[in-house]
Chain A
C-alpha cells in the first residue's frame, strides 16, 4: 500500500474550521484547499467529527450528567453584600494601607497623605464625567418621581427613515406596526426599558447595567427651544446590544430627546411631542431637523498635523515602535503601511475591542497616523469545498512520535514535552516574523535615509526580537538536544555565514533557518508529515537549530554595531 500524501496545511484544517487561524494563514489554507482534493476530503471528515462532538456534548454530557443538585442561588443578594464590603474599603484606605503597615516614619506618612490628596483630586477630576453623569441621572430620576407624568406621546425616528409615535409611560399595548415591533425587539435585546424609553430612569437603569462604559456630559442647545441650553449625557458601552446612548435634559431636568445607537449600526431617535402638537402617527415626510445629539467631534489634532505635510518613513517607524512597546507587533493582526501620505494602521480582525483601543491609544499622539481597523470581525464561514470523498488517510501515530513516546517514558510525558517545545516555538516564531517584517520594510537603502536617532530606534526594535529569539531557541535546544541525541541525532556542520553587509540580509537568513526549524519541530512531534526519511529527522533538527543560532549571532552582530 502506498503511503498517502499529506500536506502541511492538513495540520491547520481544524484551526481553519474553528476560525482560529491568523488571517494570513487562513488565506493560505483556503488557497491550498482550492487546489487540493485530498485536503478538501480531509476537511469534510473533520467537519463530520466535529458534528459528532457536538452530538456527544448534547446527548452524553448534557443528556446524561446529573443536573445540579440544588436550585441555583439568587446571586443578587450576594452582589449587594459585595458592594457594601467594597464600599467600606475606600480608595483612601486601600492606598494608605501599605504606608501604615510598612512601618514607615511619620514624615513619610504625612508626605504620603499629602500626595494622596493630590492623587485623589486628580482622580476626582478624571472621574468627573462619569460622576457627573451618575449625579445628573439621580437628580433627574428624583425630579421625575416628584412629578409623575401622565401618559404622553413620543416620536420615534429610525435609521430606516421611518417615523412613528406612541404613548409612553404605559405598558406597551399590542403593537401592530411592523417597524415598531422591530424597534421594540431592539430595545428588548439591549435591556432598555421599552415602556418609558425617554426617561431618566430608563437611561439610568441601562447605564447602571453597563460594566465598562465611558460617559461624557456636555451643554447643548435645547432641541425644543434652541435659545435655551440643555444638558446632554452620552454613554458608550463596551458590551451589550446598545453601543451608545445619549439623552438630553432641559433645564428642569426633564428628558427631551434621546438617541440610541445599536451594535448593528441601527439607530433610533426619540423625542417628546409637545401636547399642542398636531402631528399624527406615522407622519411620513416630516421634515426632521438633525439635532446635535452626538458627542462633539474629538478635539482636532495639534498643529503639527497640518494638512499638506505627509507622512515619512520616519513617521512609520515611530508608529511601529509604539506598537512594539505594547507587543502589538507580535501575533496581533495589525498592519502598518505608508499610504496616501499617511501612516495607515489597519487590520484588527479577531482582536478584542479593549486591545484595539489600547493599540489606538498607543499611536494616538503620533503625527500622520490614521487607524482604520476592519469594523466588525465577521464570523469565519469556511467556504463550501466540494467533497471528493474517495480519499482516506491512515491516521496512525507517526513512527517518530511513538519513538519519542518510548524515549520519554509515556504518552503523558510526550504531551508535556511537545507542549513545552511548542510554547517556545510559538514565541520564537512570533519574534522571527516581527524581525522579518522590519527587515522587509526597512531596506538598507531606506535605512540610509533615516536620522541616526531613528536608525537606533529601528536597531533597538530589531535587536529586541533577535534577543528573544536567541533566548527561546537556546531553551528549545536545552530541551530538545538530549532527546534528539538519544534518538541518534548528531549535529551536522553549520553552513558558514555568508559575508553580509547589513542586518537585513542576515535577518533574511534567520527567517529561512527559523522556518526550517519550525517545519522540523512539527514533523518530529508528529504534527506534520515528513518529506524525507523520518530516521534523519533528529539530525536534521539539530543541524537546523545550530544553523539558526549561527544566523542569529550574525544578525545580532550587525545590530550591535
Chain B
C-alpha cells in the first residue's frame, strides 16, 4: 500500500492536472484518494486492480474538485509557452518543435479522447479506463484509435 502510494501518486497527480485541477488541490485529492482506498480495503472491498481503482476514484473526485473551483480558471500548465520558450538548451530545437506540435494536437483532441490517451499513457488497461470514464472498453479502443490517428497526422505534416 505504501509502495503503491509512492509509485502512483505523481502519476495520479499529473492526471488531475490534465483534468484542470490546480496543483495544491490535486495533491490534496491524491492523498484523499489513497485514504479512501485504505478504508475500502479495510472494509473488505475486493478490488481487482488497485491502480485502476485509484485512477477511477481520482477522476471522479477530480471532476468534483474542479466543479467547486468554478469561480477560478481551470488549471493551465501553459505547456505551449514552456515548449516554445527560448533557452531550453537541453533539448534540440527540432525535438522541441515536434513536441510542441504534438502538444497542440493533443490539445485539439476531444475531451474523452484526451482522457483515454492520458490514462493509457499511465499504463491502464482499456477496461480500467472504461470504468474510470464510465464508457465501454470498445469505446475506449475507438477513442484511442482516433486520437492516435490525429496525432499521427500532425506528426506526418
Chain B residues near A266 (CB-CB < 8 A)? none
Question: Closest CB of chain B to A350's CB: distance in Å?
Answer: 9
**B46 in contact with A212 (CB, 8 Å):** yes
B69 interface residue per 8 A CB criterion: no
B91 interface residue per 8 A CB criterion: yes
B35 interface residue per 8 A CB criterion: yes
Given contacts A52-B151, A423-B135, contact A66 B2 (CB under 8 A): no
Question: Closest CB of chain A to B104's CB: distance in Å?
Answer: 11
Could you tell me the distance between the alpha carbons of A69 and B10 in the complex, rounded to whole angstroms? 12
Given contacts A56-B99, A56-B102, A61-B18, contact A422 B136 (CB under 8 A): yes
B14 interface residue per 8 A CB criterion: yes
**A79 in contact with B38 (CB, 8 Å):** yes
Chain B residues near A418 (CB-CB < 8 A)? 139, 142
A440 interface residue per 8 A CB criterion: no
Q: Which of B115-142 contact A (CB under 8 A)?
A: 117-118, 120-121, 125-126, 135-139, 141-142
Could you tell me the distance between the alpha carbons of A46 and B145 in the complex, rounded to whole angstroms? 9
Which residue of the partner chain, among A55, A70, A78, contacts B27 with CB atoms under 8 Å?
A70
Q: Which of B2-35 contact A (CB under 8 A)?
A: 2, 5, 9-10, 13-14, 17-18, 23-24, 26-27, 30-31, 34-35
B71 interface residue per 8 A CB criterion: no
Could you tell me the distance between the alpha carbons of A411 and B95 in the complex, rounded to whole angstroms? 31
Using an 8 Å CB-CB cutoff, how does the interface string of A67-82 with B read, 1 for contact, 0 for none?
0111011011011001
Chain A residues near B93 (CB-CB < 8 A)? none
Given contacts A20-B141, A83-B42, contact A75 B77 (CB under 8 A): no
**B99 in contact with A69 (CB, 8 Å):** no
Given contacts A45-B152, A52-B151, contact A65 B34 (CB under 8 A): no
Which residue of the partner chain, among A60, A73, A212, A355, contacts B103 with CB atoms under 8 Å?
A60
Chain A residues near B110 (CB-CB < 8 A)? 411-412, 415
A211 interface residue per 8 A CB criterion: yes
Question: Closest CB of chain B to A423's CB: distance in Å?
Answer: 4
Chain B residues near A180 (CB-CB < 8 A)? none
**A423 in contact with B139 (CB, 8 Å):** yes
Which residue in chain B gives the minimum CB-CB distance to A525? B142
A14 interface residue per 8 A CB criterion: yes
Q: Which of A33-87 contact B (CB under 8 A)?
A: 45-46, 48-50, 52-57, 59-62, 64-66, 68-70, 72-73, 75-76, 78-79, 82-83, 86
Q: Which of A408-438 contact B (CB under 8 A)?
A: 411-412, 415, 418-419, 422-423, 425-427
**B102 in contact with A354 (CB, 8 Å):** no
B79 interface residue per 8 A CB criterion: yes
**B1 in contact with A211 (CB, 8 Å):** yes
Question: Closest CB of chain B to A16's CB: distance in Å?
Answer: 10
Question: Closest CB of chain B to A431's CB: distance in Å?
Answer: 14
Chain A residues near B117 (CB-CB < 8 A)? 53
**A352 in contact with B48 (CB, 8 Å):** yes
Q: Interface residues of B toward A: which range? A: 35 or more
**A61 in contact with B14 (CB, 8 Å):** yes
Which residue in chain B gives the minimum CB-CB distance to A15? B141
Could you tell me the distance between the alpha carbons of A470 and B41 in the complex, rounded to whole angstroms? 39
**A20 in contact with B148 (CB, 8 Å):** no
Which residue in chain A gives the minimum CB-CB distance to B147? A53
B82 interface residue per 8 A CB criterion: yes
Which residue of the partner chain, among A60, A211, A355, contacts B48 with CB atoms under 8 Å?
A355
A527 interface residue per 8 A CB criterion: yes
A395 interface residue per 8 A CB criterion: yes
Q: Interface residues of A toward B: which range? A: 35 or more
Chain A residues near B49 (CB-CB < 8 A)? 352
Using an 8 Å CB-CB cutoff, how does the interface string of A424-456 with B read, 1 for contact, 0 for none?
011100000000000000000000000000000
Which residue of the partner chain, among A52, A79, A86, contacts B102 with CB atoms under 8 Å?
A52
Chain B residues near A426 (CB-CB < 8 A)? 136-139
**A61 in contact with B121 (CB, 8 Å):** yes
**B120 in contact with A354 (CB, 8 Å):** no
Given contacts A11-B145, A76-B2, A527-B145, contact A69 B48 (CB under 8 A): no
Which residue in chain A gives the minimum CB-CB distance to B39? A82
Q: Which of A80-113 contact B (CB under 8 A)?
A: 82-83, 86
Using an 8 Å CB-CB cutoff, how does the interface string of A177-220 with B read, 1 for contact, 0 for none?
00000000000000000000000000000000101100000000
Question: Closest CB of chain B to A213's CB: distance in Å?
Answer: 12
Chain B residues near A60 (CB-CB < 8 A)? 79, 83, 99, 102-103
**B106 in contact with A56 (CB, 8 Å):** yes
**A211 in contact with B43 (CB, 8 Å):** no
Chain A residues near B136 (CB-CB < 8 A)? 419, 422-423, 426-427
A-B contact list, 28 entries, CB within 8 Å: A14-B148, A20-B141, A46-B148, A46-B152, A53-B148, A53-B151, A56-B103, A57-B121, A60-B79, A60-B102, A61-B121, A66-B17, A68-B13, A68-B23, A68-B30, A72-B5, A72-B9, A72-B31, A75-B31, A75-B35, A76-B2, A82-B38, A395-B149, A412-B110, A415-B113, A422-B136, A426-B139, A427-B136
3 closest A-B pairs by CB: A423-B136, A57-B121, A352-B48
Contacts A60-B99, A76-B2, A211-B41 given; 8 further ones with Cβ under 8 A? Answer: A53-B148, A56-B121, A61-B14, A65-B17, A66-B77, A78-B35, A415-B113, A422-B139
Residues of B bordering A, CB below 8 Å = 1-2, 5, 9-10, 13-14, 17-18, 23-24, 26-27, 30-31, 34-35, 38-39, 41-43, 46, 48-49, 77, 79, 82-83, 91, 95, 99, 102-103, 106, 110-113, 117-118, 120-121, 125-126, 135-139, 141-145, 148-149, 151-153, 155
